[in-house]
Amino acid sequence: KENKLWGGRFEESVTDVVERFTESISFDKVLYKHDIMGSRAHASMLAKQGLMSASDRDSILKGLDEIERRIEKGEFVWRTDREDVHMNIEAALIDMIGEPAKKLHTARSRNDQVLTDFRLWCRDAIDSVVERVKHLQVALVKLALKNEGLIVPGYTHLQRAQPVLLQHLLLAFVEQLERDAGRLLDCRVRLNFCPLGACALAGTGLPIDRFMTSEALGFTAPMRNSIDAVSDRDFVLEFLSANSIIAIHLSRLGEEWVLWASEEFGFITPSDSVSTGSSIMPQKKNPDPMELVRGKSARVVGDLVTLLTLCKGLPLAYNRDLQEDKEPVFDSVKTILGMLEVSAEFAQNITFNQDRIKKALPAGYLDATTLADYLGVPFRTSHDIVGRSVALCDSKNCQLRDLSLDELKSINPMFDKDVYDYLGVENSIEKFCSYGSTGSSCVADQLSYWTAKLEIS
C-alpha cells in the first residue's frame, strides 16, 4: 500500500473497512475544477511571496493543467486510498512532477482547502439555480400572455372566493420566484469570502498574502477569522434554506396544477408530452411531473434538515463530521434544478380549458364581495345585506344577478338598477382596481413590469 500523504507518524495502514467508510472521493470528486482553481491561485501566491520559486510554480501550474485535462477526458484514476479530491489531485501531481509539487501544500490545510472549493462550487451552483428560476419566471409570464382576459375562480380555504384574472394568479408565482432568486443572491454575497490561508484553524506564521488569493478567486475578501473560516457551514445552511423555500413554492405550484388537471376542476389540459399513463388503467393521463415536483420538495427540505442536524452541537473548528456536508448540498442543487426545469417545461405545455372554466364561473357567488362594496353603507351592514341576498339566491337556486330589483329592494331599499353593473363575474372583476388588485388594468401594469424586467418580447 502507498504511504498516505499524512503517513509519517503511522506504523500501520488503515484497514479496508475504515478506508471505505472514511473516503469521500466517491462524491467530492465533483469539486475537482474548483480544487484546481484554488491550487493555481495558491501556487501563484506562494511564488509571489517568495515561498516557492517561479520555476516550481510553473511546473505546478503545468501539472495542474494536465491533471484537469485528464480528469475531463476521463483518463484520471480516482483512488479511494487517497481519500478525497484534495489528496487525489495533490498526490497525482507529486507522481507527475515530483519535488516541486510537494511545496504546494505550504501554508494550506485540507480544512481551508475544502471550504475554498466548496464555496466556489456553491457560488457557481447559486448562479445556475438563479438562472433556472428566471427561466421558470419567463415561462409563467409567457403562459400569462397567452391567456389574456381569462377569469378564473380565486379560492380561499379551497372554497370559491372572488374572481381573479388567470394572469394575476400566475404572476403571484412569478413574485414568489423573484424573492427566491433574491434570497439566493443575498446568500451569494455572504458566502463570497475566502477561507484559503486559514490553514488548519490557527492561520500561519508564513508570510502569505491572503488578499491575493482571495482576489484571484473572485472573492470579496479573505475571511477575517481563521477559526471561523474552517468551522463555518452557515453558507450552506443558508443556501439550502433558500433552496427549500423554492422547493416549497414549487410544491404549491405543483399542487395547484395537479388539482386543476383533475376531472373535478378540469381547468387545464397538460399535453401528452408532459403526462404519463397507467400500467393498468388504459384511460389514464396523469400529471406526474408536477406530482414529482411536489414530492421532490421533501428531498430538498430533508437535505437542509440533514445539514442542520449535522452542525448541531459541533465544537469549533473542523470535525470530520463535516465531510458529510457535501452530499446533501449536491443533492439539493441537483433536485432543485430538475424541479425548476420541469416546472417550466410543464408551463409551456398546458392549455387552459376556457369553455369549461367559463361554465364553472357562475357558481359560488364570486361577485358577492363586490356587491357588498357597492352599497356604500358601513361594511358590516352591507356584509349582512349581501349575506341575506345570497341566502335568497340559495333558496331560489339562482345567481345574485338573477335577482330582480324588487327582490333586492325587499332585502334593502338602497339597491338601485346600477347594481347590475356590479354583478356577474365580468363586471365584478373590473371593480378591483386599486394597486395590486386583479382588475385588468392593474394586471396589465404588472405584466408590463415583468415583461420588461425579464426582457420578454
Which residues form the catalytic set? 157, 278
Q: Looking at beta carbons only, is 195 or 270 nearer to ligand ARG?
A: 195
- Maximal CA-CA distance, the chain: 102
**Residues 248 and 176 sit within 8 Å (Cβ to Cβ):** no
Q: What is the closest distance, in whole angstroms, from the C-beta atom of residue 48 to ligand ARG in the complex?
A: 26
Q: What is the closest distance, in whole angstroms, from the C-beta atom of residue 315 to ligand ARG in the complex?
A: 14
Q: Looking at beta carbons only, is 56 or 84 nearer to ligand ARG?
A: 84
Q: What is the closest distance, in whole angstroms, from the C-beta atom of residue 226 to ligand ARG in the complex?
A: 14
Q: Looking at beta carbons only, is 118 or 173 nearer to ligand ARG?
A: 118
The amino acid sitting at 74 is G
- State the CB neighbour count (10 A cutoff) for residue 9: 5
Q: Which residues bind ligand ARG (CB under 6 A)?
A: 24, 28, 84, 110-111, 114, 318, 320, 322-323
Phi, psi torsion values for 276, nearest 5 degrees = -135, 160
Q: Looking at beta carbons only, is 29 or 48 nearer to ligand ARG?
A: 29
Nearest to residue 169, comparing CAs of 443, 453, 445, 450? Answer: 443
Q: How far is CA 53 from CA 45, 61, 100, 196, in A?
A: 11, 12, 9, 20
**Residues 215 and 271 sit within 8 Å (Cβ to Cβ):** no
- State the CB neighbour count (10 A cutoff) for residue 455: 8
Q: Looking at beta carbons only, is 28 or 238 nearer to ligand ARG?
A: 28
DSSP for 291-312 reads HHHHHHHHHHHHHHHHHHHHHT
Rounded to 5 degrees, what angle do the CA atoms 307, 312, 317 make?
Answer: 95
Nearest to residue 107, comparing CAs of 147, 60, 47, 158? Answer: 47
CA dist 18 and 134 (Å) reads: 45
Cell numbers at 212, concatenated: 491575493
Q: What is the closest distance, in whole angstroms, from the C-beta atom of residue 318 to ligand ARG in the complex?
A: 6
* Alpha helices, H only, 98-159: 110-146
CA dist 305 and 244 (Å) reads: 10
Q: What is the closest distance, in whole angstroms, from the C-beta atom of residue 74 to ligand ARG in the complex?
A: 22
Q: Looking at beta carbons only, is 109 or 244 nearer to ligand ARG?
A: 109
Q: How far is CA 204 from CA 5, 29, 126, 196, 218, in A?
A: 20, 27, 31, 11, 22
Q: What is the closest distance, in whole angstroms, from the C-beta atom of residue 64 to ligand ARG in the complex?
A: 19
